[in-house]
Amino acid sequence: MKQAKKYIIANWKSNKDTSEIITWFKSVSQLFIERKLKNLADFEIVICSTYIHIPLVKQQITSYQLPFKVGAQDISPYSNGAYTGEVSAIMVSEFAEYVIIGHSERRIYFHEDEDMLREKTQMGFSAGLKTIFCVSNNKAEIPPDVTIIAYEPIWAIGTGKTETPLNANEVARKIKNDNKVHIVIYGGSVNKDNICNFLTQKEIDGVLPGNASLDPNSFWEMIVNAASN
Ligand code: PEP
């Protein structure tokens, strides 16, 4: 049976301006050309930028012919209409295939609760987006129609400390067991040195790196190490 793809989903958070994005893609595309990885098709690589930079990310991926997908970091819980400042799932779906919902930073700093996250997931699903729903433990409420669950212990995000791969695998197993989801990825200080420890776990279908995705070399090294395993 053909092995399912492993996900490497870059979350740039509120980082990078236009020129930094252009430089990032130039560097990554050079590395991509220099070192042709035979099994890159075994990975689904997604770049999640700020809303404002999504069209640029899409354009860069297209012009360098990189096998990457485009993602957003959030969507509105509302459809199009009188919601000043909001960006709807329908708008995002013009440019992106994926959207992160319920990242712990949105739950903490923007007070997004379970009701709102259910609405957002529903909006994403209706607009045809693949939703990456973040949870910090296996007891968290998971709305229906989620595509991917990202298990991200809060203490491991941006701290340099990771969950042990065995614990992460066990949480992923429980999430799959208790919910109708088949894809669970791990996030929390993933980098080039530890990525394989997570990707080799049976129940872990990918990773969601934040900091380690910002630098083109460190991002590319993660892919190279994952692909060489
Ligand atoms: C994240 O952005 O969800 C994340 C896990 O960040 P970091 O890899 O920096 O811990």
Domains and CATH numbers, the chain: 6-228 (3.20.20.70)
Given the residues 44, 105, 152, 163, select the one marked as catalytic: 152
Residue 37's pLDDT band (boundaries 50, 70, 90)? confident
Residue 180's pLDDT band (boundaries 50, 70, 90)? confident
Interval between CA 29 and ligand 1 midpoint (Å): 23
Q: Which residues, in sequence order, are CB contacts of 51 under 8 Å at separation 6+? A: 72, 73, 74, 87, 92
Residue 157 Cα: closest atom of ligand 1 = 10
Interval between CA 190 and ligand 1 midpoint (Å): 7
For ligand 1, atom 6, the nearest C-alpha belongs to 210
**Active-site residue flag, 152:** yes
d(C-alpha 138, C-alpha 79), whole Å: 30
Contact predicate 145/117, CB 8 Å: no
* Residues framing ligand 1 (Cβ under 6 A): 11, 13, 103, 152, 157-158, 187-190, 208-212
Q: Tell me the average pLDDT of the chain.
A: 96
Burial class (CB in 10 A: 0-12, 13-18, 19+), 180: exposed
pTM of the entire predicted model: 0.97
pLDDT of 1 strictly over 60: no
Centre a 10 Å sphere on the Cβ of residue 59 and count the other Cβ atoms it contains: 15
pLDDT digits (tens, 9 = 90+) for 205-214: 999 999 999 9
Given the residues 44, 53, 103, 105, select the one marked as catalytic: 103
pLDDT of 2 strictly over 70: no
